[in-house]
Amino acid sequence: MGAGSLGGVSRREEIAANLTAVRERIDRACEAAGRSPEVISLIVITKFHPVEDIAHLVDLGVTDIGENRDQEAGAKMAELDPAVRSQLTMHFVGQLQTNKAKSVVAYADCVQSVDRPKLAGALDRAVAARAGDAGGEASLDVLLQVDLGEGEDAGRGGIPPAELTHLAETVAGTHRLRLRGLMAVAPLGLDEEGTAAAFARLADLAQEVRTTHPEATILSAGMSGDLELAVAAGATHLRVGTAILGSRPDRR
C-alpha cells in the first residue's frame, strides 16, 4: 500500500517514530513501577485513520488494534488484506447498542465495552448464530467496562461498580462469551492524583472480580495522556491512538 509523506518523511516513518516514543514511555513507566514491559500489551486505536495506517502498524510489529465505531470498524476489517488481518487481534472498545452485536462479532476478537447484561446476552446469541452458520464452535473474549466517575462525573461509559459482580456472573453464565477482565476510561477533568486514584480503584475492582473469575486477568486502562498512571496501577493493556497516529483526520 502506498504511503503519504509530510516534509519528506513517509507516513510509515512517522508512525514508526511515534511508536518508538510510546514504547519508550511504556518502558520507563514499567521501570518506575517495578514491572516488566513484556506484561504490557499495546493496543493502537485506529479510529478515523485509514486502512493503510493499519498495514504500516502490522509491518512495524503491532499485533493489537482498537476501533469504537461499528460501521467504520467493519469496513476496515473487510478492506484489510487477509494476510494483514490474520496477524491482528481486533478490539472493539466503543459503546455498543445491542442491535449491533451481530455485526461486531463478525470481525472483533475482543469486545472491551460490555456494560450491561442485555448486551452480554445479545453478544452471546450473535456468537452462537455465527457458530451455527459456520458449522462449528466459536467464542468471544469480552471485558467489562466500568464507570469510574462518581456523581456528576459519571457517564464516560460503563457499569457502576456496585453492579459489576452481577454483570460478571451474567457473562460467566453465557455459553459463548469468555470473561477476560475489566476496562475503563479515566473520568474527565481529573488531575494526575485523581486519575491515579481512579485507576487504583479499577485495579481493586479487577482483583475482586478475579477472586471468583481467575481467568479475568486483563486490565485495560490508560490512553495517550495517562498511560504512565495506568501502568503504575497495574494495567495490562494500554489503548493509545493520538500519540502514535497523530490527531484524527476528519471523518470520511
- Residue-wise pLDDT for 163-183, tens only, equals 999 999 999 999 999 999 999
Residue 55 lies in a domain: yes
In the chain, DSSP finds a helix count (H) and a strand count (E) of 10, 10
Q: Per the domain annotation, does 250 fall within a domain? A: no
- Cβ burial of 66 (10 Å; 0-12, 13-18, 19+) is buried
β-bridge partners, 114: 144
Q: What is the CATH number of the domain that holds 204?
A: 3.20.20.10
Mean per-residue pLDDT, 106-114: 98
Grid cell at residue 99: 442491535
- Is 35 within a domain? yes
Q: What percent of the chain has pLDDT over 90?
A: 86
Average the pLDDT over each of 6-15, 24-33, 102-111, 146-155 and give the range with the smallest value: 146-155
Count: domains in the chain: 1
What's the pLDDT score for residue 132?
78
Lowest mean pLDDT among 2-16, 40-54, 169-183, 200-214: 2-16
Q: Residues 25, 50: contact at Cβ < 8 Å? A: no
Rounded Cα–Cα distance for residues 90 and 67 (Å): 8
Q: What value does the mean pLDDT take over residues 60-83?
A: 97
Inside any domain, residue 178? yes
Short-list 100, 27, 109, 25, CA closest to 66:
109
Whether residue 45 is predicted with pLDDT greater than 80 in this model: the reply is: yes
pTM: 0.93
Contact call for residues 171 and 120 (beta carbons, < 8 A): yes
- Report residue 61's pLDDT band, with 50, 70 and 90 as the boundaries: very high
Distance CA 216, CA 158 (A): 17
Share of the chain above pLDDT 70, in %: 91
Residue 90 lies in domain:
5-245
**Alpha-carbon dihedral 17, 19, 24, 25, rounded to 10 degrees:** 120
Distance CA 62, CA 69 (A): 20
* Interior/surface letters 187-222, b for 16+ CB within 10 angstroms, e for the rest: beebeeeebbbbbebbbebbeebbeebeebebbbbb
Looking at residue 187, what is its pLDDT? Answer: 92
Predicted local distance difference test score (pLDDT) of residue 70 = 97
pLDDT score at 157: 83
Whether 176 is in a domain gets the answer yes
Asked if residue 251 is part of any domain, the answer here is no
DSSP annotation of 59 reads H
Q: How far apart are the first and last CA of the chain?
A: 19
Helix axes 51-59, 11-33, angle to 10 degrees: 60
Mean pLDDT for the stretch of residues 222-242: 98
Is position 252 within any domain?
Answer: no
Q: What is the pLDDT of residue 7?
A: 59
Amino acid letter, residue 198? A
**Mean pLDDT for the stretch of residues 153-164:** 83
Q: Has residue 199 been placed in a domain?
A: yes
The pLDDT score that the predictor gives to residue 2 is: 40
pLDDT, tens digit, 9 for 90 and up, residues 115-147? 999 999 999 999 999 887 655 678 999 999 999
In a 13 Å sphere around the CA of 209, the CA atoms on its Cβ side amount to 32
What pLDDT, on the 0 to 100 scale, is given for residue 159? 96
Does 4 score more than 70 pLDDT? no
Q: Name the burial class of residue 104, with classes exposed (0-12), middle (13-18) and buried (19+) by CB atoms within 10 angstroms of its CB.
A: buried
